[in-house]
Amino acid sequence: MPRLFGTDGVRGIANRDLTPELAFKLGMAGAKFLSPEIGSIALGRDTRRSGDMLQSALASGICAAGNDVIDLGILPTPALAWLIQKLGAGGGAMVSASHNPAEYNGIKFFASEGVKLSEENEEAIEELLEKSSEGRASGKSTGRIIDRRDGVELYIDHVCSGAHGEINLNVAIDCANGAAYKIGPEVFQRLGIAPTTLGIEPDGLNINDNCGSTHMGALAEVVKSGDFDVGLAFDGDTDRMLAIDENGTFIDGDHIMAICAKHRLEKGELDPAAICVTVMTNIGFDLAMRDLGIKVHKTNVGDRFVLKEMVTNDITLGGEQSGHIIFHDRNSTGDGIITAIELLSIMRDTNKPLSELTKVMTTFPQVLRNLKADGVKHVAESASVLKVIAAGQRELGDRGRVLVRPSGTEPLIRVMVESDSQEKAERIADNICQVIEDQI
């Protein structure tokens, strides 16, 4: 059987790749793996129209395995992760395709500690799929669905406590018509902010549709047209956050992590003086951390790899350029709302505009290309592609780098080239893409 799990759960076109039948089987298999002693599994979803269908099927599978379902309703993925621990569930599952368009959906499982499963654990669930018709509960042993949509209030209390007081800033937020559409404005209002809001009218089909952290143009225009201190954009399930500074300039996850690392270091709250990022992080970040005396750990793309490295080395801060940032002393996974509160608190405490804070690092020119391809792993590792990658890296030397990798969530090959020269980066990226297209 082909591997179902990618870098972030099982994902695909809803009702075509990810069907209710598969969701039911995943519910049974996931429950048997996560809570073999029979307990409860927490469930949440984002605002996609297919979420009702898939969550219902997933919940049915969990109940058929004899486990109760704690239904948390529509809420951010990091809220689910935190509530799994708070409510003492045996594990959890989120029905969401994160930053993908509305026709996609996904299922990602969490252990009782609120962390995403390892590849080995996902493989164990896939093996149990073949036995999904065995050991079904009946009678009094059948699981129930328990409505705990009020649980999100506990999470709101938790994240707001991290601000240590009100924040007097003029803020615009874009909730991507996703999981943050309701909780986002409520959090900021509780912190004394009256946010200008975008992306808070989900209809099941408009999640991430020209809004949120993947399409920040509208937010930038709002910030530039008014007297705003900052614009904050979330993705569909709110585990990512990216920003727009007061001038309308886009601020990525590398800059946000650099700002947070520097501030925590100066306050004596970065112990050890280390941070964990992925191979996608810009070289300029590495140089900035070196100058600050902060050690940089690097992993493959995927927040679970970042978290594993953080836990191994007792690191409290890590994340991805995409805005998926983990404050491990605050949550067990990337959390867009906590990231937003951390950034706003730094702006308040330093009394500096975001444009000034971002000067902590200088970004090297970076060219990113996505090429559609079936059998992406085979193409990306072909001899001709490896040869042109090596040639590009030799030309860049220690002033740049090349990264070519298959996407874990879409049929894409991602090409990244960094250099101290934009022209050179684009030329090398063009050469690599041409060879890949010839292979396709």
Q: What is the pLDDT of residue 132?
A: 67
- Is 161 marked active-site? no
Average pLDDT per consecutive 10 residues, the chain (440 residues; last block may be shorter): 78 97 96 87 98 98 96 98 97 96 97 93 91 82 96 97 95 98 97 97 98 97 95 97 98 98 97 95 92 96 91 97 96 97 98 98 92 72 89 89 82 90 94 89
Report pLDDT for 1.
Answer: 47
- The token pair at 176 is 């991507």
| pLDDT reported for residue 303 | 87
Compute, in degrees rounded to 10, the torsion defined by CA atoms 71, 214, 242, 230: -110
Q: Hey, what domains does the chain have and what are their CATH numbers? A: 5-151 (3.40.120.10), 162-360 (3.40.120.10), 366-439 (3.30.310.50)
What's the pTM value of the predicted model, to 2 decimals? 0.88
Write the secondary structure of the chain as one string of H (helix), E (strand) and C (coil): CCCCEEECEEEEEECCCECHHHHHHHHHHHHHHHCCCCCEEEEEECCCCHHHHHHHHHHHHHHHCCCEEEEEEECCHHHHHHHHHHCCCCEEEEECCCCCCCCEEEEEEEECCCCECCHHHHHHHHHHHCCCCCCCCCHHHCCCEEECHHHHHHHHHHHHHCCCCCCCCCEEEECCCCCCCCHHHHHHHHCCCCCEEECCCCCCCCCCCCCHHHCCHHHHHHHHHCCCCEEEEECCCCCCEEEECCCCCEECHHHHHHHHHHHHHHCCCCCCCEEEEECCCCHHHHHHHHHHCCEEEEECCCHHHHHHHHHHHCCCEEECCCCCEEECCCCCCCCHHHHHHHHHHHHHHHCCCHHHHHHHCCCCCEEEEEEECCCHHHHHCCHHHHHHHHHHHHHHHHHEEEEEEECCCCCEEEEEEEECCHHHHHHHHHHHHHHHHHHC
pLDDT for position 375 = 62
Catalytic residue among 96, 98, 213, 322: 98
